[in-house]
Amino acid sequence: MASDVEKLFSQFRAPGVWREIRELFQPRERECLQVEVTSCCMGKCVYCPHTTRADVWKSRHMKPETFAALWPAMLGTARVHLQGWGEPFLNPYFMDFVSLARKAGCAVSTTTCGLRMDEDLAERVVSSGMDIVAFSLTGTDEQSNGARAGVPFSRVEKAVRMLQKARREKNAVHLEIHLAYLMLASNVEAVRALPELMEDWGVHAAVISTMDYIPSPDMAKEAFAPHERDKIEAARVVLEEVGAKVRASGRDFYASLPAPTPAPCCRERAHRTMYVDADGQISPCVYLNVPLDAPQPDRAVFGNVLEENPERIWARPDYAAFREAVQTERPPSSCASCAKRFEAPCAQ
């Protein structure tokens, strides 16, 4: 007997062959629909507002009805990334969400801490058609990964190996395993062990980022401010050396560091992406809608998918104007000092 969720999602029909042909010449308007399927998390990472603002944090799962309301938006989007401010696999309907997004013709990816991974979930992920699963790290061993409190490095390794085993047994060449690596300023040297780690774990790519969101004043020292040029250049040397080794092994490596001045664009590409939180509220990006039960001066929400078709929200004049402004030298005030505007690729 079909479950209530299966019945709910069965009303949607996949795009026909003529639409698929049309999209070969006219790609979908949005590059990515980022969906916060949950804001719940078992980790206690020292750099995350889930930990530093625990007293006002809103923990909740996205409901199937909310995800179903995103169907029109999915039809106009190339990729659905199922992750926001929590651990995605905690949502009991995660695999149902993957199935519906795939039915809409979207590529589907996620970023996970790895704690929920087991053999059954690994097999379901491989069979789902997802093409990227990224695992979060801040180090390359137990000690250097210590900032991810509650998420032992050994458990992440076990999760990656489980997914690799399922992937290889099913010859699932469509699925890539990535590392979403947060480089803290006090822990730059740990990055040097990435080439060997990626080789050992069979990881396809690593994306190295720095702290874009400062959850508390005492964490600012772990970020790379644009004016801290000596600090940035020292990190650049390490990233360029590591990047060369990783690419020489046939794997991908992406890294960025702040430039002295901001670029007239949004590195999160907010003009081509949409962020939807667990309650169905649409924002330009994850940084402008943190799930806090507290005032947020820079919070930007343009509508809720439970109240209005997401395509109509996307087309609203105020939202369109926001997206246009982020690609100029005069961005919205909420974006003017965003770290993403200073971000510049390195180690390419």
- For 217-246, the DSSP string reads GGGGGGS--TT-HHHHHHHHHHHHHHHHHH
Report, as an integer, the average pLDDT of 58-72.
Answer: 97
Phi first, then psi: give them for residue 132, nearest 5 degrees: -145, 130
Q: What per-residue confidence (pLDDT) applies to 347?
A: 62
* H or E element that contains 77: strand 77-82
Q: Output the pTM of the full model.
A: 0.94
pLDDT in tens, 246-268: 999 999 999 999 999 998 888 88
> E-assigned strands of 220-337?
252-258, 273-276, 281-283, 303-304
Please say whether the beta carbons of 249 and 196 come within 8 A: no
Q: Considering all CA atoms of the chain, what is the largest pairwise distance in Å, rounded to the nearest integer?
A: 63
pLDDT in tens, 95-126: 999 999 999 999 999 999 999 999 999 999 99
In whole angstroms, give the CA distance from residue 203 to residue 134.
9
Q: Evaluate the CA torsion angle 293, 297, 302, 307 in order and state its sign.
A: positive
Spatial CB neighbours of 203, under 8 Å, sequence gap ≥ 6: 160, 177, 178, 179, 197, 251
Please say whether the beta carbons of 97 and 37 come within 8 A: yes
In whole angstroms, give the CA distance from residue 147 to residue 180.
14
Q: What per-residue confidence (pLDDT) applies to 173?
A: 87
Task: Lowest mean pLDDT of 19-28, 60-69, 92-101, 182-191, name the range.
Answer: 19-28
Q: Does the pLDDT value for residue 333 go beyond 80?
A: yes
Report, as an integer, the average pLDDT of 60-82.
Answer: 97
Q: What per-residue confidence (pLDDT) applies to 267?
A: 85
In whole angstroms, give the CA distance from residue 313 to residue 66.
15
Q: 112 forms bridges with which residues in the sheet?
A: 135
Spatial CB neighbours of 240, under 8 Å, sequence gap ≥ 6: 346, 347
In whole angstroms, give the CA distance from residue 181 to residue 211.
11
Give the pLDDT band of residue 348 (cuts 50, 70, 90). low
Report, as an integer, the average pLDDT of 12-23.
Answer: 79
Report, as an integer, the average pLDDT of 285-290.
Answer: 94
Q: Round the average pLDDT of the chain to a whole number and report it.
A: 93
Phi first, then psi: give them for residue 218, nearest 5 degrees: -70, -10
Q: What per-residue confidence (pLDDT) applies to 1?
A: 58
In whole angstroms, give the CA distance from residue 321 to residue 334.
14
